[in-house]
Chain A
Amino acid sequence: MNVRPDPSFYATAKLAMEGPAETLAFTLILSPDGSQPDGLAVVDVDPNSKSYGQIVHSLFMPNTGDEFHHFGWNACSSALSPLSGHAFLERRYLIIPGIRSSRIYVIDVKDPLNAKIHKTIEPDELMRKTGYSRPHTIHCGPEGIYVSTLGGGGKDGTEGPPGIFIMDCETFEILGRYEIDRGTQDKHYDFWWNLPRDYMVSSEWGLPPQFENGIVPEDLLSNKYGHSIHFWDLHARKNIQTIDLGENHQMALEIRPAHDPAKQYGFCGVVVDTTNLEGAIFTWWRDDTGKFHAKKTIAIPPVPADPADLPDLLKGFGAVPPLVTDIDLSLDDRFLYVACWGTGQMHQYDVSDPMKPKLTGKVEIGGIVANAKHPNGKEFGYGPQMVEISRDGKRVYWTNSLYSTWDDQFYPGDRGGAMIMAQAGENGGLTLATNFFVEFPKGYRSHQIRLEGGDCSTDSFCYPSV
């Protein structure tokens, strides 16, 4: 407990942008075949440091087969909430779930170069207390730490729907399920919220049998992956509205609300439209009566390709779908970054008008067919995937792996985990930094990145930017 609030807690997103730049990044690394333990890599991102762009510390877990994916902080700027503030928590622990093992690690990174395991929650405890499995997204909210899950009970995670559970923000005890009334929600993926307006938005990927052993083409072509987003009364823990984006919009993944809570809109990325292989971004918003709406505002077309160049999964289509697998919104709510993992592109859109995004920047790197090399001459292996933006919006970092079994279907063979960075122009434009290319240990792939002191998909702000 601090006497003053943690300096990395900011009342508004604007104040967070004005804070000091990050000097370290935390990147999850995973062993795709489970032969080695997964780990947390600490990367030096301070351009004035001698070890800039290098892994300065790695912490490996005592188990194998966890499959690290997403993770988050124990505390963020939401601790300054006027309603349920815990202003004196420290941003000190990373909560890292194993999406395959359902094990959860709490890692103490107070001294990042000496990061250590603070607590481990075993899968049977999670199952016993919540009936959920495959934990995923982490956010700090009114009642503690909220964690979304992708699976329910039973061996294959299909006994009962997946949902969100709550952990105590100090002891990391699992308190229980979040939902009182989940409505029609029966799949899960991401969630985020607007704290002062007291609503939450959640999305859907698919159930564990639909992803654990790879994408199931029959399920995709019969539109059986998730295609709805759900809106919740956050405190009442009740699903108040579900919007079906249309069954062809398969896999509604990342939810990115505007960081300024005065704004009542946000975005959701859709991996693939099964009618035309497009990737899509939907803008959702809340009107004055409290009703939610959603509209497709970005459609990214597939790129035709010679079937001979395509993996088995895509041969029949003769094209590479963009595969929008991650999106991220800068803290000023101005630029939306869209990872096109299939075609190997990172798009930057000006979303100052959220209903009319304008493409302002693009980087081509990797890609199933394009296989574009980094300006430093190195192969990127896969495509741009988990993307994280610095708080000041000037640096955009990303890694290249989607999910072990899916990587193997779209990008056969082991191609090496990497993390790169691009510089964003003041008024748009995106340029790869030639001197930043992190390679991970052999046999490892890289997934989500968290920046020291918070980033653009971590902190929830409780006061409008003024």
Chain B
Amino acid sequence: MNVPEADWTTAVLWLAVVGSGIYHGLNPGMGWPLAVSAGLMNNSCRAVFGALVPLAIGHFLAMGGVLLPFGAVSALVTWQTEIRIAAGFLVIAVGLYLFVNRRHPRFLARIGPAHLTLWSFAVALAHGAGLMLLPIYLNLCRAEELDAGHIAARTLMGSNLITALEVSVVHAFSMIAAGGLMAFAVYQWLGPRFISKSWFNLDTVWPLSLILVGAVALYSS
């Protein structure tokens, strides 16, 4: 069977969307311990899920907030390569910034436990979680474009915006599935001891992930 190259690329990129979602979800900094806390505080399994919903919404909004503007400008067909290069540099720059500056932004600490959606949104934004997705997304747009041949800019923009939403949904869904599974396992079986046991310092790995994603984006553009 002969599978077109663009299909392979698309499949790999979607896998990357799901994979980065799992990575974000398992990072305690993105909120799964909040769901454990909610479950334990209310002594109810439903409270675990109750906390996961706003966390997922906040994460989705942070992804969409980064991808949609790029979706809008990516319709400028003649500048596609430049946009991808700029995005790659932006991701690397944020990665470098986070690598050097390990301080937790104070505004995050100002958000109380009653505002989980805002908290999840702000945390994802501050850690550049959406940026990690950006090169993957731009390449998805390119793959679709290659697949469809040259189409009208307006159609392309519409399709890119839909892709941005799709990517955000799929990513946020895999993020909350992974984080939710973790939260549920800790709540139900592993116990709170696992919270400190599973918490690794990603202060180095996380910015490096951004730099890596940005570098791959530059290479492939």
B48 at the interface (CB under 8 A from A): no
- Complex Cα distance, B195 from A408, in Å, reads 49
Q: Return chain B residues, CB-CB under 8 Å to A88.
A: 201, 203
The stretch of B9-17, B58-66, B110-118, B206-214 in contact with A is B110-118
B106 at the interface (CB under 8 A from A): yes
A170 interface neighbour in B103, B113, B192, Cβ under 8 Å:
B103
- Tell whether, in the assembled complex, residue B109 and residue A143 are in contact, meaning their CB atoms are under 8 Å apart: yes
A83 interface neighbour in B113, B195, B196, B200, Cβ under 8 Å:
B113
Q: A463-B37, A464-B40 are in contact. Are A80 and B201 (CB under 8 A)?
A: no
A2 at the interface (CB under 8 A from B): yes
- Tell whether, in the assembled complex, residue A196 and residue B201 are in contact, meaning their CB atoms are under 8 Å apart: no
- Complex Cα distance, B196 from A80, in Å, reads 7
CB distance from B207 to the nearest CB of A (A): 14
Q: Return chain B residues, CB-CB under 8 Å to A144.
A: 109
Interface string of A254-282 (1 = CB under 8 A from B): 00000001100000000000000000000
Tell me the total A-B contact number using a CB cutoff of 8 A.
89
CB distance from A36 to the nearest CB of B (A): 39
- Tell whether, in the assembled complex, residue B31 and residue A466 are in contact, meaning their CB atoms are under 8 Å apart: no
Q: Return chain B residues, CB-CB under 8 Å to A84.
A: 104, 108-109
Q: A11-B192, A80-B195, A82-B37 are in contact. Are A3 and B201 (CB under 8 A)?
A: yes
B34 at the interface (CB under 8 A from A): yes
- Complex Cα distance, B195 from A1, in Å, reads 18
A84 — nearest CB in chain B belongs to which residue? Answer: B109
Q: Return chain A residues, CB-CB under 8 Å to B28.
A: 82, 85, 87
A198 at the interface (CB under 8 A from B): yes
A82 interface neighbour in B36, B114, B201, Cβ under 8 Å:
B36
Q: Return chain A residues, CB-CB under 8 Å to B33.
A: 80, 82, 85
- Tell whether, in the assembled complex, residue B193 and residue A143 are in contact, meaning their CB atoms are under 8 Å apart: no
- Complex Cα distance, B40 from A462, in Å, reads 10
How many chain A residues touch B (Cβ–Cβ < 8 Å)? 35
Q: Which secondary structure characterizes the binding site on chain A?
A: loop
CB distance from B193 to the nearest CB of A (A): 6
- Tell whether, in the assembled complex, residue B196 and residue A466 are in contact, meaning their CB atoms are under 8 Å apart: no
Q: Return chain B residues, CB-CB under 8 Å to A82.
A: 28, 31, 33-34, 36-37, 195
- Tell whether, in the assembled complex, residue B112 and residue A87 are in contact, meaning their CB atoms are under 8 Å apart: no
A349 at the interface (CB under 8 A from B): no
A235 at the interface (CB under 8 A from B): yes
A198 interface neighbour in B29, B43, B103, B113, Cβ under 8 Å:
B113
B41 at the interface (CB under 8 A from A): yes
Q: Return chain A residues, CB-CB under 8 Å to B41.
A: 196-197, 261-262, 463-464
B114 — nearest CB in chain A belongs to which residue? Answer: A198
CB distance from B130 to the nearest CB of A (A): 21
- Tell whether, in the assembled complex, residue A235 and residue B110 are in contact, meaning their CB atoms are under 8 Å apart: yes
- Tell whether, in the assembled complex, residue B192 and residue A86 are in contact, meaning their CB atoms are under 8 Å apart: no
B192 interface neighbour in A15, A142, A143, A236, Cβ under 8 Å:
A15
CB distance from A12 to the nearest CB of B (A): 5
Which 9 residue pairs are nearest across A and B when measured between Cβ atoms? Answer: A235-B112, A82-B33, A11-B192, A82-B34, A84-B109, A11-B195, A5-B196, A88-B201, A143-B109
Query: Residues of B with Cβ closer than 8 Å to A?
Result: 28-29, 31, 33-34, 36-37, 40-41, 43, 102-104, 106, 108-114, 119, 191-193, 195-196, 199-201, 203
Query: Residues of A with Cβ closer than 8 Å to B?
Result: 1-5, 9-12, 15, 80, 82-88, 142-144, 170, 175, 196-198, 234-236, 261-262, 462-464, 466
> 19 additional contacts, CB 8 Å, given A15-B193, A262-B41?
A4-B196, A4-B199, A5-B199, A11-B193, A80-B196, A82-B33, A82-B36, A82-B37, A83-B112, A87-B28, A88-B201, A142-B109, A175-B106, A262-B40, A262-B43, A463-B36, A463-B41, A464-B40, A466-B192
